[in-house]
Every structure is written in C-alpha cells, then in structure tokens.
Amino acid sequence: MPTNRTLTVNGLSIHIAEQGEGPLVLLLHGWPETSHSWRHQMQPLADAGYHVVAPDQRGYGRSDRPEESDQYTILHLVGDVVGLIDALGAKEAIIVGHDFGAPVAWTTAMLRPDLIRGVAGISFPPTQRSPVPPTSAFRQHFGDDFYFLYFQHPEIPEAEFTRDLRTTFRTLLGGDNTQPVSTQVPAGSGFLDLFTEPDVLPDWLTEQDIDVAVESFTRSGFTGGLNWYRNFDRNWSLLAPWQGATITPPALYLIGGADHISRAFTDPAAIADFASDLRGIIDIPEAGHWVQLQRPDDVNTALLDFFKQL
C-alpha cells in the first residue's frame, strides 16, 4: 500500500503518495485530479522494482496553493519536479504525466534532460511553441468559446465547479468520455454542460473515488488548478529561449482510442517532430480521456515495457 508524507519543495509543502524501492518514477496528475488518479499504477510499478511517487501538484489536494496566479507558470511546475527529485534523494527519474501533467513532464524532459531517464505522456502530446500567444491561437483555430478560454475567466469556472462538488465529479469523471463532445462553452453555459452526469457510475469508478475527489477539492478549491491554464500566454513568453528545442530523453505517448477531447485539438502524429527518441505512440482501444483509470492493465504494461528499455 502507498504511504503518504509531505516534502518541502521550493518553499512549498508538497504532499506525496509513494510505494516501492528502486529507480524513481514520478507520476504527475492532470486536471481536476490529485495523486489518487494513479491508484491503479502504484502497486504494479512498485512490484516491478520502482520507487513510485505521485505528488499532489501545487494548487491541488494536500499540497500548498499559492494565492498569486503567476506562481503557477510552467517553470514553477517544472521546478517542483526538479525539487522533488532532489528532495527524494535521487539523481534522475522517469516521469509520467497525464492530461495537464503531461506538458509538465514533456517540458521537464526538454529543459532538464540530465535529470530524466525517460518521459511518458498520457492524453496530451508535446507541442511546438506557437508563433503567437496561445490564447490568440485558440481564438483563431477554435473560436471564442473554446473551453481553455472559458477557464481564463476569474471566478466563473470556480463558481460552476464548486456549486455541487459531487455532481461536478460524477459528471467530469463518470460521464461517457468515449463519445465525441464539443469543446465549446457558449455564453450562458458552463463546461459541465458538455457532459452528462450518469445515473450509475462506470465500472472503473466508484462512489468512494468520488468521495476522495470531493474531499480533496473541498480542501483545495479549483483556483490553483485553473491557474495552470491561466498562465498559457505567460508560459509562451517564458519559453521563448527554447524556441525550436526538442525532447531528447527516450519518450512514449499513450492515448485512449476514444479520447475525443484530446484528439479534437492535438495531433499525436506530430510528436516525432518534437521528441527525437520517440519509442512509440500507443492507442489504448476503447478508452477515453481517463485512460489510466479505464484501462489500467494496458497502461501499466505499456509503461513497464517502456521502462525496461531505459
């Protein structure tokens, strides 16, 4: 079973769940998740001989939540990964990220390849820096109602998501995410309107899992996590010195075969242009966006096969 403790990283208290001994593997969750989203990976990876660590990243769960939105840039998030590696007494790590955790993993591998044995991204591929600020690119390609732009509004998405936390997580996590959905949030509607709350949760998600999410976000709120999105343009400016840089550590990409959200605005085929040592792009059949929860055995097998190559 995983154990829990708190580490001091870059002046913040970062909560981690950890299990096993051996080479360090960091599992980075996305939005709106916590370390609990890796509950099906901890034991199998630990049993395979790895020290598996899943943090609540800054702004989430039991970790600290700086108030200022500019404390959630990609450089802060990468800095937390670097700090975690050091605080855990390791010289290097394999990093795996899902959803928004994937850009953190990809960027860490790009900026600090000396620390990264290998990098795996799930549900979000690495992307080249755009020629214009991201919010401008989003408007150009997807229109003013694209949900990333909805997340830019202060307080509005927070009010939507906290109105009824149980409904929020039953809808976001338990709704059928294997069917095509819109990425548009028109004026007068909300992000949750893109999904339908199920009467009965899917077999890979329990009411106890919903309890964990409700408890976690009752404590943390949503602002910290949404501030990750609110730094898109700031990140674009900060990463200007790495324009054209590539990811050099061995890399793997996994995506659910029915993950229509990620496929709506990303191109997995372009990964090879960005990752110079790409070991594979793996589609997990019939899985949606929460692939590591829906098809844990397939994800664990793919990750361990990749780890063995490193």
- Give the torsion sign (CA, 112, 113, 119, 123): positive
Proportion of the chain in helix, strand, coil states, percent, rounded to 5: 45, 20, 40
The CA-atom distances, in angstroms, between 238 and each of 22, 129, 298, 304 are: 35, 11, 36, 34
- pLDDT at residue 231 in the model: 98
User: Average of pLDDT values for 269-293?
Assistant: 92
User: Average of pLDDT values for 224-231?
Assistant: 98
Catalytic residues: 99, 289
Judged against a pLDDT cut of 70, whether residue 196 lies above it is answered with yes
Judged against a pLDDT cut of 80, whether residue 294 lies above it is answered with yes
Q: How far apart are the first and last CA of the chain?
A: 26
Distance CA 282, CA 301 (A): 11
Judged against a pLDDT cut of 90, whether residue 306 lies above it is answered with yes
**3-308: CATH homologous superfamily?**
Alpha/Beta hydrolase fold, catalytic domain (3.40.50.1820)
- pLDDT at residue 84 in the model: 98
pLDDT in tens, 49-66: 999 999 999 999 999 999
The C-alpha torsion from 291 through 287 and 294 to 40, rounded to 10°, is -40
Give residue limits of the domains in the chain. Answer: 3-308
List of E strands, 48-172? 51-55, 93-98, 116-122
User: Average of pLDDT values for 125-139?
Assistant: 93
Distance CA 23, CA 91 (A): 10
Distance CA 266, CA 111 (A): 22
- pLDDT at residue 265 in the model: 66
